[in-house]
Amino acid sequence: MALPYDSAPKFADYAHPEKLVTTEWLAEHLGDPGLVVAESDEDVLLYETGHIPGAVKLDWHTELNDPQTRDYVDGAGFARLMSEKGITRDTTLVLYGDRNNWWAAYALWVCTLFGHPDLRLVDGGRAKWIAEGRPLSTEVPQRPPTDYPVVERDDTRVRAFRDQVLAHLGRPLIDVRSPGEYTGELLHMPDYPQEGAVRGGHIPGARNVPWARAAAEDATFRSLKELEAIYAGEVGLRPEDDVVVYCRIGERSSHTWFVLTHLLGYPHVRNYDGSWTEWGNSVRVPITRGENP
């Protein structure tokens, strides 16, 4: 019982316009049966200060991660989580969040590992909704638990692991961190192991495209033309390329994964969620320092 797609003209240019909704579309469809809106933020308290009416909270730190192993929840854990949030396998799950949808894109990527069929992002996220003066609520909705099926996580299509990245060296890699993290400078901040890695720098061959370049001032995604200018023009990516994206723990790179996969339509993009906190700490993996790939 999927909801109708948003036919906004801007989206029509993208490869997969069905992956986005506008704030207008959402305002119109709030409360529709078959729709669940979920907020996923970098700041774990932001939802509590007020959220889109009826939205549930999806917390990356406490809900999407396995509490012990550095990994995501398994199929049973995901089914339990979706059930608690009142989400069925048929639900149109619309995600939004703070900071250009950074964490919302991460949550969407994790949900993709479980193949949830209808996942969409709100273009512009929380910031745009608020900037337009739309209503917020502090009421936490209680939805009846659902019978979400246990679907095993598929780590083969959109997720990359360290050894796969090692074998990938020489093919396109995008490091979406800030330039300081990319060159390795940021690890030299005194008394503060900010990036949680013992070595600073990047994966050899990786090109640096900070993730937020894909977002406009109002937190919406840049137009197809602008995105092509960055990823195809500057970096030289081609749609048929096998691409791996990474950042510090895989959150910011989920945003770039979304852009490459759903907006530009590149079919072979994987997110390396081990990212720099794994690579920069691993014994005997090669790294590169400085501005050159």
Partner 1 sequence: MTSVTLPPRLAEIAEDFGALPDRDRLQLLLEFSRELPPLPDRYADHRDLLEQVPECQSPLFLAAEVDGDRTVHLFFDAPPEAPTTRGFAGILHAGLDGLAADEILDTPGEFSSQLGLHDLVSPLRLRGMAAMLARIKRQVREQLASS
Catalytic residues: 247
* Binding residue for partner 1, selected from 1, 13, 49, 239, defined by CB under 8 A: 49
Q: Is 123 in the site for partner 1 (CB under 8 A)?
A: no
Binding residue for partner 1, selected from 85, 87, 95, 98, defined by CB under 8 A:
98
In the complex, minimum distance from the CB of residue 288 to partner 1, in angstroms, rounded to a whole number: 25
> Applying CB under 8 A, does 192 fall inside the site for partner 1?
yes
Q: How many residues bind partner 1 (CB under 8 A)?
A: 16
What does DSSP say about strands 35-39 and 92-96: parallel, antiparallel, or unpaired? parallel
Is 39 a binder of partner 1 (CB under 8 A)? no
By CB under 8 A, is residue 218 in contact with partner 1? no
Cβ proximity to partner 1, 172 vs 250, nearer residue: 250
Pick the binder of partner 1 from 48, 139, 163, 218 (CB under 8 A): 48
Q: Which stretch, 9-17, 165-173, 185-193, 282-290, contacts partner 1 (CB under 8 A)?
A: 185-193
The yes or no reply on residue 68 touching partner 1 (CB under 8 A) is no
Output the CA torsion sign for 289, 252, 114, 242: negative
Closest contact distance (angstroms) between CB of 40 and partner 1 is 13
Does 137 bind partner 1 (CB under 8 A)? Our answer is no
Please identify, among the stretches 13-21, 114-122, 186-194, 199-207, the one whose residues bind partner 1 according to the rule CB under 8 A: 186-194
Stretch that binds partner 1, among 18-26, 39-47, 85-93, 197-205 (CB under 8 A): 39-47
Residues that bind partner 1 in the complex, under the rule CB under 8 A = 42-46, 48-49, 61-62, 67, 98, 189, 191-192, 194, 196
